[in-house]
Structure formats: structure tokens, C-alpha cells
């Protein structure tokens, strides 16, 4: 029966040690073995580098040790070991990516997350520190045979420790082209556009009350939108320019869009807001895909009606699917980000649905939730590190 050996090199990192280890492993492979796995971590110049080789049973441990020739590696404080390992059933299962983030992530929080892994028999194979500011973020590669149990335990640990968490399948698809669809109001933007319009129409309180009930899922979005737009009847269309000038992007929004575009991902906006306000802004931001409502304007005045079918929660999901087909990416490579009840269908149909500072009803339907105020934190759920973000 084939045997597996783990060769571990540790100590102060130095130039050439990796080449020396792989030369040693190559000598083992030349005797009929094969390289099964490799791993490395370096923290503050302290190195741990491992190589796992599997050899036929006729090759003994002494043969492996002789081929590796540890004396060629052990100098300048470096030590090396060869260990026969047993691959047990505990390492079975497929890999998941668990991303955790918060303003700060400490050992107590990580202890609870790793304890959750242990309770379901999962093991962590790799830890990557994606960011230290403006949030602290870790990506963990976890092997688990029971994904549902892992999700339940990790989600509970995250909630108890104030962590945002995403759990998704591992694989090369994460670095393939993605479509990232965002809501506008209270997601890409800090503002609710209709509330700004209402201020110009002196009906802010009435509109805000309807908006809050709709976003909490207490009112049908389409009907609530009609009611709010009706209150704007008679408003001069020039006010749209005034409102557009007042819009404030969410912190991190420009960074998110710039990074997505630089890495070949496609951003899009699907909104219950209004084309007349959003389209010029998105042209400035070089976002080519937009689905939103259209205000009816006659003789330079808002009529209080909409001139096209309403973009409600079902229409948002259809728009995401249509954009994915146009861009040429499968649904599993789409991301939806939103905060309100009318985003639920879009979040549910996407490959990764993210609730951004969202109402509880939205968080319940999302794959991941962000409670930090920075929209570019979405990038960490795509495995993009702060270093990559700042590369431009």
C-alpha cells in the first residue's frame, strides 16, 4: 500500500530554501513517488514550508530520508523533518471558503469560529489575512463533510462574536469573471433618492414613512412606490439635476467599482430608484448596466406616474439574470448586494447574495452579511486582498 510522507522545513526564512526543498522532493518523485500537496506560511520572517509525497510501499522510510538528504537544507537556523503520515477519514469532505471580518478580529473570536469547525468535524487547511484596515478580514479554507452543519455552527459563532461571515464553495470559479449587481439607494448610495425628491416637494415625512414600511417588507413595493411618486406630481424636472448633485456615494463605493473594473469583473446597478437620476452618475462611474424605474415627465413637470413597468423585487431578479446572459457568466458567478426587502429575490437568485447593512428579513435570505459601513468590503468575499485593492 502506498505510503505518504510529510517533509517540513521551518526556521528563519532565507533565499533559496524553497528551491532546496523541491529539489529534495524531486529526488523522491524520481524513485516512483508523486507530489501530493505543498503549503507554506511566513510570518515576520519565520517560515514553515511543507511538502507531502506519496511513494510505493517498496520504498522505505530510510529510502525517503536518504533521498531527501536533510543535511542539504538544515543550516542558518533551518530545521527539517520527515514524518510518515496517515491520511484518515477525518480529512474527507470538500473544501469551503469561510470569510470572517469585523472592525477587529481577535483570538477570542477566532477561537469560537474554530471551535465551531471542531464541533462538526471540520478542519482548517489554510488561513489568509486578507485585510487589516479599514476592517480586519480572514479567509479560511475549510474541509468539511457536512456543509449544512458547518454553516449553522459558524453562523451562530459569528453572530455571537459580532463577525460578518460568508461561507461559499472553494474553486477556481472565484477568480473567473463575475457580474456584481448592486442596489442603489442605501447600498451604492448613502441616500434614498425619492426622499431627496420629497424634500424638494415638501412631502418628506409622508414619503419617508412609506419608504420605511416598504423596505421592511410591510408594504408591497410596487404599490408603495406608486404612492410615493404620486406625491411628487407637479415637481419641476429641473429638480432631478439638483437631487443628483446631492447624492453621496457610500464609503468604499468608488474603490469597489474601480477594483472590479480593473480585475475584469462587471459591475451593474439594479434599483427601485430612477433612471433620470442614476444614469448620469453611473456614466461617470463607467458602469454600463442599469435597470431602474422611469419617471413620467410632461411639459417639464413630473406627473406623479411612472412611464414603464415598475422595477420591483421580481424585476430585480430578472434583470440580474438578463445581465448575466448579456455579460456571458453563469448565475453561480453572479453577486448581488442589497439592503431592502425588494432586494431579496435578486439576492436569492445570485451565486452569492450579500446583505449590506440590511434589515433582518434581508439577512435571513442572504448567503453573507456585511454590517461595516464600507462597500468595498464586498471584495473580500471574492477573495480579493487589501494589497490587490491598493495595487492600482
Catalytic amino acids?
183, 185
Confidence (pLDDT) at 90: 44
Q: Exposed, middle or buried: residue 70 (CB in 10 Å: 0-12, 13-18, 19+)?
A: middle
Could you tell me which CATH number the domain at 3-87 has? 3.30.70.260
**Which pLDDT tens digit goes with each residue over 207-231?**
988 978 876 778 888 889 999 999 9
DSSP string of 189-230, one letter each residue: BSS-HHHHHHHHTT-HHHHHHHHHHHHTTSS-HHHHHHHHHH
Alpha carbons 37 and 50: distance in angstroms, whole number: 8
Q: Among candidates 101, 287, 115, which has minimal Cα distance to 189?
A: 287
CATH topology of domain 90-170: Alpha-Beta Plaits (3.30.70)
Report the alpha-carbon distance of residue 160 to residue 142 in Å, rounded. 20
| 172 pLDDT higher than 70 | no
Note the pLDDT tens digit of each residue in 99-113. Answer: 999 999 999 999 999
Alpha-carbon distance of 143 to 273, in angstroms, equals 42
Give residue-wise pLDDT tens across range 225-278. 999 999 999 999 999 999 999 999 999 999 999 999 999 999 999 999 999 999
Give dist(CA 344, CA 350) in Å, integer: 10
Q: In the chain, which segments carry CATH 3.40.50.1000?
A: 179-389
Per the DSSP assignment, residues forming a β-bridge with 79 are: 10
Contact 254, 285 (CB under 8 A): yes
Contact 42, 13 (CB under 8 A): yes
CA distance 146 to 90: 12
Which pLDDT belongs to residue 41?
85
The CA distance from 330 to 327, in Å, is: 9
The CATH homologous superfamily to which domain 179-389 belongs is HAD superfamily/HAD-like (3.40.50.1000)
pLDDT band with cut points at 50, 70 and 90 for residue 58: confident
Does residue 359 surpass a pLDDT of 90? Answer: no
Q: Which residue has the higher pLDDT, 88 or 166?
A: 166
Residues of the chain with CATH 3.30.70.260: 3-87, 90-170
Amino acid at each position: 500500500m502506498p505510503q505518504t510522507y510529510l517533509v517540513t522545513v521551518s526556521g528563519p526564512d532565507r533565499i533559496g530554501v524553497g528551491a532546496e526543498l523541491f529539489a529534495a522532493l524531486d529526488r523522491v518523485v524520481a524513485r516512483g513517488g508523486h507530489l501530493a500537496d505543498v503549503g507554506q506560511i511566513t510570518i515576520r520572517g519565520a517560515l514553515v514550508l511543507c511538502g507531502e509525497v506519496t511513494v510505493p510501499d517498496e520504498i522505505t522510510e530510510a529510502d525517503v530520508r536518504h533521498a531527501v538528504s536533510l543535511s542539504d537544507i538544515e543550516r542558518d537556523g533551518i530545521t527539517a523533518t520527515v514524518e510518515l503520515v496517515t491520511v484518515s477519514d477525518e480529512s474527507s469532505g470538500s473544501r469551503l471558503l469561510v470569510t470572517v471580518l469585523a472592525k477587529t478580529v481577535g483570538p477570542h473570536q477566532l477561537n469560537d469560529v474554530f471551535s465551531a469547525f471542531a464541533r462538526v468535524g471540520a478542519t482548517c487547511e489554510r488561513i489568509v489575512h486578507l485585510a487589516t484596515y479599514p476592517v480586519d478580514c480572514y479567509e479560511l479554507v475549510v474541509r468539511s463533510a457536512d456543509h449544512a452543519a458547518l454553516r449553522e455552527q459558524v453562523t451562530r459563532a459569528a453572530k455571537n462574536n459580532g463577525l460578518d461571515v460568508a461561507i461559499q464553495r472553494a474553486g477556481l470559479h472565484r477568480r473567473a469573471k463575475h457580474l456584481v449587481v448592486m442596489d442603489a439607494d442605501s447600498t451604492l448610495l448613502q441616500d434614498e433618492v425619492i426622499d431627496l425628491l420629497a424634500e424638494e416637494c415638501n412631502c418628506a415625512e409622508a414619503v419617508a414613512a412609506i419608504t420605511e414600511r416598504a423596505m421592511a417588507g410591510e408594504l408591497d413595493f410596487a404599490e408603495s412606490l406608486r404612492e410615493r411618486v404620486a406625491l411628487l406630481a407637479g415637481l419641476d424636472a429641473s429638480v432631478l439635476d439638483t437631487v443628483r448633485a446631492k447624492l453621496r456615494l457610500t464609503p468604499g463605493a468608488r474603490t469597489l467599482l474601480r477594483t472590479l473594473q480593473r480585475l475584469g469583473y462587471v459591475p451593474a446597478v439594479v434599483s427601485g430608484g430612477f433612471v433620470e437620476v442614476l444614469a448620469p452618475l453611473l456614466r461617470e462611474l463607467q458602469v454600463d448596466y442599469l435597470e431602474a424605474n422611469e419617471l413620467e415627465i410632461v411639459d417639464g413637470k413630473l406627473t406623479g406616474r411612472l412611464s414603464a413597468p415598475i422595477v420591483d423585487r421580481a424585476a430585480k431578479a430578472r434583470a440580474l439574470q438578463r445581465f448575466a446572459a448579456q455579460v456571458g457568466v453563469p448565475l453561480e458567478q453572479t453577486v448581488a448586494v442589497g439592503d431592502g426587502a425588494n432586494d431579496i429575490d435578486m439576492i436569492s437568485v445570485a451565486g452569492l447574495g450579500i446583505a449590506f447593512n440590511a434589515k433582518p428579513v434581508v439577512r435571513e435570505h442572504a448567503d453573507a452579511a456585511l454590517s461595516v459601513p464600507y462597500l468595498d468590503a464586498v471584495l473580500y468575499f471574492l477573495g480579493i486582498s487589501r494589497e490587490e485593492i491598493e495595487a492600482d
